Amino acid sequence: MSTTMLLLLSGAMIVAGVGLIWGDVRKRRRDTFVVQRDAQGFAAADPDPDLEITTVARMQSGGLAGKRAAPLPDGRSSADAAARWAALQPVLGEAVQQVSAVLGGAGVSLGAPGQPSWSMNRGYGAYRRVMIGGESLAWLRLEIDADGQLQASVKAHKDDLAAVNANASAPAAGLSTGRASDLLSECLKPAASYAVQAVPGGDTEQWSSEMNWKAIDPVVASALLAGNGALAQAGAHFTMVSLPAWVPDLRRHRMTIAVEVFDREVARMLVERIGEEIEIAVGVPDARLADLARRQRIAIKGLTTHALAELIASCAWPAIAHFREAQPSG
């Protein structure tokens, strides 16, 4: 009899314990974690009324509340993004052609763009393959972000090629071909440096010099054009003798300009980038007129077309003035 009573008492205690636990659950209704995108699905399925759904948005601090993905774009924002992207294509196409011409010397080429799409960063754009020696080693992503910036990023396919990874950005509004080319050059420079080192006989220093010259080429061209306009009344003119070219002995690029007075060449001007400065050097063929030679530098940082044009004119003017005065009258 005592054994039977003990079993009955034990059964009663178990039932009472289960009842207390179930009552506590119904009172407290412990939250169940469900991500935001699943909440609507649960509601539509008419879930158990005893199940409370807590979405990510309801979490306070420390959880995933601050890491929610942005909502998908609606039809209007998608159309706007597509229109902005389409408007940039002529500029980007020209910039890719310009940069590709330089990249080819380092063994780097860019593939055709893929279909435009949204990225996880809420940017709209397209991918291109970055190929070195004909092998695809990385992706180049060009996209317009939510702030109206054109973002360029290179991401290697493999972790051991992370040295080619790079990022650059520029305002998409009013983007010029020159600025787009600079953006691409900046982003692809690590890939080109890697390619030059990977290819037997490659010259990283030459590639770096070429890229550095490309960065100043637009302002040099504009300054020479401005100088021609200012000196036209004096009968003087600057004529390019050779395009910027690598000089092996100097380990840098150089542009050679003829200084002409009344269509006669009277001096030669050398334009070079040395570190973070541009050097202008003017010399004459007659050693007896060495005092007409000039050599000056100007910092690249903050450089303007007007400042460089003034420097070019001031270096060339002694030779120009001398030969103007020596010109027979009549």
Instruction: State residue 153 phi and psi, 5-degree precision.
Output: -145, 140
pLDDT score, position 196: 75
- In the prediction, which pLDDT does 77 show? 73
What does the pLDDT read at residue 183?
A: 93
Question: 3-state SS of 140-201?
Answer: EEEEECCCCEEEEEEEECCHHHHHHCEEEEEECCCCCHHHHHHHHHHHHHHHHHHHHHHCCC
As a whole number of angstroms, the distance between CA 306 and CA 312 comes to 10
pLDDT of residue 274: 93
Long-range contacts for 169-172 (Cβ within 8 Å, ≥24 apart)? 172/84, 172/88, 172/144, 172/148
- Domain limits, the chain: 75-198, 208-326
- Between vectors from CA 132 to CA 129 and to CA 133, what angle results, nearest 5°? 125
Per-residue pLDDT of the chain (330 residues; tens, 9 = 90+): 455 454 444 555 555 554 554 555 455 444 443 434 444 443 334 444 333 333 333 333 333 334 444 555 666 677 888 999 999 999 999 999 988 888 887 788 999 999 999 998 889 999 999 998 788 999 999 999 989 999 999 999 999 889 999 999 999 999 998 899 989 989 998 898 888 777 555 566 777 787 788 889 899 999 999 999 999 989 999 999 988 888 988 888 999 999 999 989 999 999 999 989 999 999 998 888 889 999 999 999 999 999 999 999 999 999 999 988 877 654
Looking at residue 13, what is its pLDDT? 52
* Cα–Cα dist 116/81, whole Å: 10
* Beta-bridge partner residues of 120: none
Supply the pLDDT for residue 46: 41
pLDDT of residue 220: 94
pLDDT at position 58 = 35
**Per-residue pLDDT at 60:** 37
Residues ≥6 apart with Cβ < 8 Å to 191:
108, 130, 132, 137, 138, 154, 164, 166
Q: Which residues have CB under 8 Å from 205's CB, separation 6+?
A: 251
- For the question of whether the overall pTM of this predicted structure is more than 0.75, the answer is no
Predicted pLDDT of residue 73: 63
